[in-house]
Amino acid sequence: MTPSPYFTDTFRYFFKRFYSAPRLFQWFLRQAGEDSAAFDFPNILKDHPKTLTFLPKDLERANKFMRAMPDAWFKNMLFCTHESQHSLISSRRSHAVYYSDKECRFGEPVFNEIQRKIQEFAPQVCLYLDDPFLPRLFLAKTSGAPCRIGFATENYYPFLNLSLHRDNKSEAQTISEYYGVG
């Protein structure tokens, strides 16, 4: 049995690393809290609300998304992304919290710092473009954003509470339409 990559290497989380996938999902959900605030979609996206965006670790995918987004979209934005994306984020003069592969595990001091920074930012919308990874889904849920959007992420409710489908459009085109910047 392969241990889960979700936890820091301490004895406190040793046994949790061997939980089954459904049990891990439920554990993270209990930690995040199951309640969610109400929101009015798509009106919540008007006027460029404070948005937390989880970019994919894949540089090509993230770059494609960022290049397709108009400059107006970057207003009131905080990115949570892998440290390899630093030049991509800085080229758009945006703000971000960065993590490395080891630092984005539950229980790591940097993970706790990322969570604190996200909560201080107090986003109204969370956009999750990354591959499903329970600690980052946990961060999305605990961000405090009432509207947490993913693409084809029905299986990750209530971490993400709105699942969009692209309908032959890119993620960037879909988001641009809803934000009214395109």
Please, what's the b/e burial string for 70-104 (b: 16 or more CB within 10 A of its CB; e: otherwise)? eeebbeebbbbbbeebeebbeebebebbbbeeebb
pTM: 0.89
- For residue 131, count other CB atoms closer than 10 A to its CB: 11
User: Would you state the pLDDT for residue 46?
Assistant: 81
Predicted pLDDT of residue 181? 58
Rounded Cα gap, residues 51 and 48, in angstroms? 8
Computed over every residue of the chain, the mean pLDDT equals: 88
In this model, does residue 123 exceed pLDDT 90?
yes
Band (pLDDT 50/70/90 cuts) for residue 109 is very high
Exposed, middle or buried, 155 (CB in 10 Å: 0-12/13-18/19+)? Answer: exposed
Share of the chain above pLDDT 90, in %: 47
Count how many residues are written for the chain: 182
Confidence of residue 117 (pLDDT cuts 50, 70, 90): very high
Render pLDDT for 69-97 as a digit per residue (tens, 0 to 9): 888 888 889 999 999 999 889 888 889 99
- What are the chain's domains? 40-179 (3.40.50.2000)
Asked if the model's pLDDT at residue 32 lies above 60, the reply is yes
pLDDT surpasses 70 at 178: yes
pLDDT of the residue at 60: 92
